[in-house]
Chain A
Amino acid sequence: MTLQATSSLSRPWLTGVREAIPLLGGYVPVAISFGLIAVQSGFSPWEATLISLLVYAGASQFLFVGMVAGGAPLWLVVVMTLLINVRHVVYAPNLAPVLGKSRWWPWLMHGLTDQVFAVALHRLPQLPEAQRPGWFAGAAILAWASWVAGTVLGAVAGEWLVARWPLLGQVMPFALPALFLALLAPRFTSRRWSLALIVSIGMALLCALTGYTNVGIPVAAACGALCFYAVKLPTSRQGDNDKGGNDE
């Protein structure tokens, strides 16, 4: 799926669906795990499915069912769930300048996950404005549907699947880092950007390794941003300016 600088699509939603397919490699195995864990935690398959349908935020869903199963007070479960998801507040403002004026956007925000944001931030500026809602709807709905379908599968047949194809569950999640890598590669436009991005990746890796995965994401992003402003390297290329993230 080669991406062109400005492309005109006859069916943008279908292109969105096609370009979101790499997300499935990361979504489906994790969703199957969630369905399985939710059922093991005492939720019925349809309750697990409804959580995926309504909350639709991976890490926080795991926390939700885990805390409920552990007997935590429900107010604390809700607070912790929302705290994990607070990183989402920066996604829409980053996309807003390229979204255009369609009235559909507020209705599509339920589908704005980490992964959909990453793909949309890269892809939307390359599309004509009229085609962006269609593209986003296609990509977001496929991702949402795969998350819900994976949950159903995990809740109903999770144990059997893991026993039958253990390698699949081990290999497919690598699709997510591979996708993020392909999205970030064009942003290494200068030493300043490269250093900031590497700091952010490294900090997040460190946080994940020490068990602070969810808090690690905003912390690592903030460290990368601080690094960008704090470290002044000799300007060598255009990408050194503050808008380098949008300059490829």
Chain B
Amino acid sequence: MSSALWLAVLASAIGTLLMRLIPLLWMQRRLERLDGEDGVEAMPRWLALLGPMMIAAVLGVSLVPRHADATAWLATLVGVLATLAMWYYKRSLGWPVVAGVATYGAVVILAGML
């Protein structure tokens, strides 16, 4: 890898790190200024809302299968339902993921046998 390419890697790495780090330092200073106030109250309202919305957006993107054929979409739909059903039953993080992945895999295997 050439020196210029190394610089590009380093610039990308440092830039990405700063985008993760500087907002933390900004928010920590803001929290210090508003000492004694509840942390959630100290956060701008739009920011408190944006966190869950970002997770929802990443969920939306990750729902699209890499090989988006009919089987993958069917497996995604059934996997989502299995995940939600297990979450409703267990109210935990791990089991719904296991149930979702297992169901997704079962649908893919069954569809392959048909």
Which residues from chain A sit less than 8 Å from chain B, CB to CB? 1-3, 19, 21-22, 25-26, 43-44, 47, 50-51, 54-57, 60, 64, 68, 74, 77-78, 81-82, 85-99, 105-106, 109-110, 112, 114-115, 117-119, 121-122, 167, 170-187, 196-197, 200-209, 213, 216-222, 224-225, 228, 242-243, 245-246
Not counting A68-B8, A78-B11, a sample of 13 additional A-B residue pairs whose C-beta atoms are within 8 angstroms of each other reads: A74-B8, A91-B54, A92-B20, A115-B58, A171-B104, A178-B104, A181-B83, A181-B100, A206-B60, A207-B61, A220-B53, A221-B57, A222-B53
A144 shortest CB reach to chain B, Å = 12
Number of interface residues of B (CB under 8 A): 77
Does the CB pair A200–B53 fall under 8 Å?
yes
Which residues from chain B sit less than 8 Å from chain A, CB to CB? 1, 4-5, 7-13, 15-17, 19-28, 31, 38-40, 42-43, 45-68, 72, 75-76, 79-80, 83-84, 87-88, 90-97, 99-101, 104-105, 108-109
B53 shortest CB reach to chain A, Å = 4
- CB-CB under 8 A from B15, the residues of chain A are 78, 81-82, 85
Q: Is the interface of B mostly helix, strand, loop or mixed?
A: helix
Query: 15 A-B residue contacts at CB 8 Å?
Result: A43-B1, A82-B16, A93-B26, A121-B51, A171-B101, A177-B76, A196-B53, A197-B52, A200-B56, A201-B63, A203-B60, A209-B68, A216-B60, A217-B58, A243-B48
Q: Across the two chains, which residue of chain B brings its CB closest to A33? A: B66
State A183–B51 Cα separation when bound (angstroms): 12
A168 shortest CB reach to chain B, Å = 9
Does the CB pair B45–A242 fall under 8 Å?
yes
B108 shortest CB reach to chain A, Å = 6
B103 shortest CB reach to chain A, Å = 9
Known A109-B20, A197-B53; judge A174-B100 contact (CB<8 A).
Answer: yes
Known A96-B27, A224-B53; judge A90-B8 contact (CB<8 A).
Answer: no
Does the CB pair B84–A55 fall under 8 Å?
no
Does the CB pair A182–B93 fall under 8 Å?
yes
Tell which of A97, A110, A172 touches B40, judged by Cβ atoms closer than 8 Å: A97
Does the CB pair B43–A96 fall under 8 Å?
yes
- CB-CB under 8 A from A179, the residues of chain B are 93, 97
Does the CB pair B101–A89 fall under 8 Å?
no
Q: Across the two chains, which residue of chain B brings its CB closest to A30? A: B66
Does the CB pair B53–A225 fall under 8 Å?
yes
- CB-CB under 8 A from A222, the residues of chain B are 50, 53
Q: Across the two chains, which residue of chain A brings its CB closest to B13? A: A54
- CB-CB under 8 A from B108, the residues of chain A are 167, 170-171
Residue among A81, A93, A171, A183 with the highest chain B CB neighbour number at 10 A? A93
Does the CB pair A118–B55 fall under 8 Å?
yes
- CB-CB under 8 A from A90, the residues of chain B are 23, 47, 50-51, 54
Q: Across the two chains, which residue of chain A brings its CB closest to B59? A: A180
State A109–B24 Cα separation when bound (angstroms): 8
A68 shortest CB reach to chain B, Å = 7
